[in-house]
Amino acid sequence: DIQMTQSPSTLSASVGDRVTITCRASQSISSWLAWYQQKPGKAPKLLIYKASSLESGVPSRFSGSGSGTEFTLTISSLQPDDFATYYCQQYNSYPCSFGQGTKLEIK
Amino acid sequence: EVQLLESGGGLVQPGGSLRLSCAASGFTFSSYAMTWVRQAPGKGLEWVSAISGSGGSTYYADSVKGRVTISRDNSYNTLYLQMNSLRAEDTAVYFCAKQTNSDPGYPCDYWGQGTLVTLSS
């Protein structure tokens, strides 16, 4: 099974900051990676698919990059609505797996 | 508008069974694979199971394999998760989610609000 590891687990930042979250796969997953945003008590929301493709309706300040085993999610200029928990997910092979999550907090 | 509405959660004793349902609307249900993802209280997301659009292919996490069966009724636009031999570690909110293709190997673009399953003796 493929293990997904995110870093950091918690990130403190301010409105306007540029932040980057990293996700590493235990083996190559090509570009079969998605990023989700989740707010407390809510369902996850798809942000990025195929490592770098922006889901329709998602602000362009979100971007994804990477392939193989290392991936990043970047938010270019943090907005108040962006403080949430972010998860990566590999869908290269079953069982699909999520990273443990990165909680983005207000500094 | 795509809508996914889970039901069937509740309080159950260890060793018991439960069947979760997810009623779908707003899209051609049979054309898309569907997934169940769960989230234990205060924890991260855990992928549980997926099924192809036709229902002919199913996949399970090791943690539930042999105890859980995913199925769908495309005539009624409904996804199911039959859970047996439930354990304390199955306590979680269970989300159903629509994938972006009929093949399960794709991400989830729409999610329900979840149904809570609680194990307690």
- State how beta strands B45-51 and B58-60 pair: antiparallel
Give me B79's structure tokens: 């996804």
Q: What is the mean pLDDT of residues B87-106?
A: 93
Contact B100 A49 (CB under 8 A): yes
Residue B2 to residue B20: CA distance in whole angstroms: 19
The pLDDT assigned to B105 comes to: 81
Average pLDDT, chain B: 96
Nearest alpha carbon to residue A26 among A97, A103, A78: A97
Residue B21 to residue A61: CA distance in whole angstroms: 36
Q: Give whole-number Cα distances, B19 to A15, A69, B24, B83, B117, in Å.
A: 44, 37, 16, 6, 10
Torsion angles phi and psi, residue B53, rounded to 5: -60, -35
Nearest residue in B to A89, CA atom: B107
Residue in A43, A55, A97 nearest the CB of B47: A97
Share of chain B above pLDDT 70, in %: 100
Contacting residues of A for B100, CB less than 8 Å apart: 49
The pLDDT assigned to A104 comes to: 97
B26-63: pLDDT as tens digits: 999 999 999 999 999 999 999 999 999 999 999 999 99
Per-residue pLDDT of chain A (107 residues; tens, 9 = 90+): 999 999 999 999 999 999 999 999 999 999 999 999 999 999 999 999 999 999 999 999 999 999 999 999 999 999 999 999 999 999 999 989 999 999 999 88
Tell the residue number behind the tokens 């949430």, with chain if given.
A84
Q: Enumerate the β-bridge partners of residue A88.
A: A35
Tell the residue number behind the tokens 């659009």, with chain if given.
B53
Nearest residue in B to A46, CA atom: B109
The pLDDT assigned to B102 comes to: 85
